[in-house]
Amino acid sequence: MKDRYLDFVNSPFGTSIARALGLPKPEVLRRHRADEAEFAGMAAIGAGPSPTLFDQLMRVLTGIGMTGIAHDSAPDWLALAHRRGAMSGRITPRAADSGSANRVHALIFDATGIAESSELHALYAFFHDALRSLAKSGRIVVLGRPPSTCASPRAATAQRALEGMTRSLGKEARNGITSNLLYVAGSADIEGALRFFLSPRSAYVSGQVVHIDRPAAAPASWTKPLAGQRALVTGAARGIGASIAKVLAEHGAIVTGLDVEAARDALDQTMLSIEDTSRSGGAHAALIADIAAADAPAEIAAALASAGGVDIVVHNAGITRDKTIARMTDDMWTSVLDINLLAQERIDDALLAQNLLRAGGRIVAVSSISGIAGNRGQTNYATSKAGVIGRVQSMAPVLRERGVTINAVAPGFIETQMTARMPFAAREAGRRLNAMGQGGLPVDVAETVAWLASPACANITGNVVRVCGQSLIGA
């Protein structure tokens, strides 16, 4: 369809509005393709005083075939690289000025040793020199310490300040570049998170802060990290849910896709297409159930029990019934709360009571930017999605004892049948009011879910990761 936004931003008034809001002109994002190398090229490395993650970083980069080149702020990097026999070099400021051949694919800054805000100057020096050298769809990753674990208020202050830097870089960078901050506690392993945030799989994830809190074992295979695992995906017939089912299968999982009777044909089709795609030989299954029904948890538990339990539960099913509250009917409130929030509680309780969620299990729940920021006409939806965040935060410590993680993804504007039916202006606004200047695709949400479901994410729990292209909208 005609992109009327482009007409608007090129009109005299629209141009100035767009500049003021920092609305970017859309870039075609690089996404994961089976026939393209996931990682390649150079990562420029910067650091504040006493970086603590260089060893891990070098190991990861070497493992994925990227070359780490040092910025002046990271003098120890070259020594480390030479000691390890790795290819290395030195980044020159304005390498970008000499042409795109010299561009780097990632800028990684180890800020974990920064203990005073004056030392944040090293971030300025690095990004000032290096940002223009970053290729299209490049990646910015800043590594810090969780402020709550810092020894002094001054260190906590400096670490918390990294958020302002990382989010500002995401809004400045354009060209499909993402910028994310990882708070790494103690000796936590960063490989799972680094691989995700450096890969095209995180194309639409920017401006996020992720907490990594402990060691985690690498999966047997990085290409099929979910091999042999059973996953349940609710609302799997169409849209985001169907994409989640497909991507989990591509990562090796055997998927039980659940949806309501009315979506039976679509669900069957989705599950069949997964068989074709994955060639995993696993027994993917379609399960018809209405998660709002009282007996649904027992039905689901029975189905999973016969499959020997479940490793990954993705609470994706959700509905909207938008209306301002004075016009909202009782049923619109109750059904949205029931399906989007209460059903998740009932299903998890049933699975946990019967010990069907195996050790090392993963729960990933779909929240929404509306649950973070609230939204006009969505008191019911925003309340349910804020509740999903509450679930993730309050269940995380409880589930940790079982070796189970629980996290949420919060999609922004994602191109689906649902958004295609939105009024023109709402759709355009949703598409453009983010740092990528475009809507995301269901696969962007699915890749994020698959990452959080992976064994390497044993050390990420209680997090909410927005998949929103760094939407302007928030709280």
**What positions carry a catalytic annotation?**
381
Contact predicate 165/123, CB 8 Å = yes
Q: Which is nearer to its own copies, 251 or 431 (CB)?
A: 431
Q: How many CB atoms lie within 10 A of CB 36?
A: 10
Of the ranges 16-24, 26-34, 185-193, 275-283, which one interacts with its own copies (CB under 8 A)? 16-24
Least separation in angstroms between CB 243 and its own copies: 25
Sequence-separated (6 or more) residues with CB below 8 Å from residue 425: none
Contact predicate 440/173, CB 8 Å = no
418 binds its own copies (CB under 8 A): no
Contact predicate 74/130, CB 8 Å = no
Looking at residues 339 to 378 of the shown chain, list those that interact with its own copies (rule: CB under 8 A). Answer: 341-342, 345, 370-378
Q: Which is nearer to its own copies, 11 or 221 (CB)?
A: 11
242 binds its own copies (CB under 8 A): no
Instruction: Please identify which residue in 187, 277, 355, 394 interacts with its own copies, judged by CB under 8 A.
Output: 394
Looking at residues 424 to 443 of the shown chain, list those that interact with its own copies (rule: CB under 8 A). Answer: 424-430, 433
Looking at residues 212 to 241 of the shown chain, list those that interact with its own copies (rule: CB under 8 A). Answer: none
Contact predicate 85/115, CB 8 Å = no
| 3-state SS assignment for residue 309 | coil
393 binds its own copies (CB under 8 A): yes
Contact predicate 146/183, CB 8 Å = yes
Q: How many binding residues for its own copies (CB under 8 A)? A: 92
Instruction: Please identify which residue in 172, 290, 299, 415 interacts with its own copies, judged by CB under 8 A.
Output: 172
Q: Which is nearer to its own copies, 167 or 284 (CB)?
A: 167
Contact predicate 165/141, CB 8 Å = no
CA atoms within 13 A on the CB side of 166: 30
Looking at residues 315 to 344 of the shown chain, list those that interact with its own copies (rule: CB under 8 A). Answer: 324-326, 328, 330, 333-334, 337-338, 341-342
Instruction: Please identify which residue in 199, 379, 416, 438 interacts with its own copies, judged by CB under 8 A.
Output: 379
Least separation in angstroms between CB 227 and its own copies: 31
| 3-state SS assignment for residue 148 | helix
Q: Which is nearer to its own copies, 55 or 331 (CB)?
A: 331
Of the ranges 78-86, 115-123, 292-300, 308-316, which one interacts with its own copies (CB under 8 A)? 115-123
Q: Which is nearer to its own copies, 298 or 422 (CB)?
A: 422
The rounded Cα 286 to chain-centroid distance in angstroms is 26
185 binds its own copies (CB under 8 A): no
Contact predicate 180/206, CB 8 Å = yes
Q: Which is nearer to its own copies, 120 or 258 (CB)?
A: 120
Q: Which is nearer to its own copies, 58 or 317 (CB)?
A: 317
Q: Which is nearer to its own copies, 63 or 474 (CB)?
A: 474
- The Cα 289–Cα 266 span in angstroms is 14
Least separation in angstroms between CB 209 and its own copies: 8
Looking at residues 147 to 166 of the shown chain, list those that interact with its own copies (rule: CB under 8 A). Answer: 147, 150, 153-154, 156-166
| 3-state SS assignment for residue 312 | strand
Neighbour-count burial of 12, counting CB atoms closer than 10 A to its CB (0-12 exposed, 13-18 middle, 19+ buried) = exposed
Looking at residues 51 to 70 of the shown chain, list those that interact with its own copies (rule: CB under 8 A). Answer: none
Sequence-separated (6 or more) residues with CB below 8 Å from residue 92: none
Sequence-separated (6 or more) residues with CB below 8 Å from residue 38: 32, 64, 199, 200, 201
Structure-derived torsion over alpha carbons of residues 14, 17, 19, 25, reported in degrees to the nearest 10? -50
Contact predicate 148/186, CB 8 Å = no
Instruction: Please identify which residue in 86, 383, 400, 419 interacts with its own copies, judged by CB under 8 A.
Output: 383
Instruction: Please identify which residue in 25, 30, 59, 171 interacts with its own copies, judged by CB under 8 A.
Output: 171
Instruction: Please identify which residue in 54, 77, 109, 127 interacts with its own copies, judged by CB under 8 A.
Output: 127
451 binds its own copies (CB under 8 A): no
Looking at residues 17 to 46 of the shown chain, list those that interact with its own copies (rule: CB under 8 A). Answer: 17, 19-22
Q: How many CB atoms lie within 10 A of CB 100?
A: 9
131 binds its own copies (CB under 8 A): yes
Looking at residues 77 to 96 of the shown chain, list those that interact with its own copies (rule: CB under 8 A). Answer: none
Contact predicate 103/44, CB 8 Å = no
460 binds its own copies (CB under 8 A): no
Least separation in angstroms between CB 268 and its own copies: 32
99 binds its own copies (CB under 8 A): no
Total residue count of the chain as it appears in this document? 475
Q: Which is nearer to its own copies, 169 or 245 (CB)?
A: 169
Neighbour-count burial of 46, counting CB atoms closer than 10 A to its CB (0-12 exposed, 13-18 middle, 19+ buried) = buried
Sequence-separated (6 or more) residues with CB below 8 Å from residue 269: none
Least separation in angstroms between CB 29 and its own copies: 19
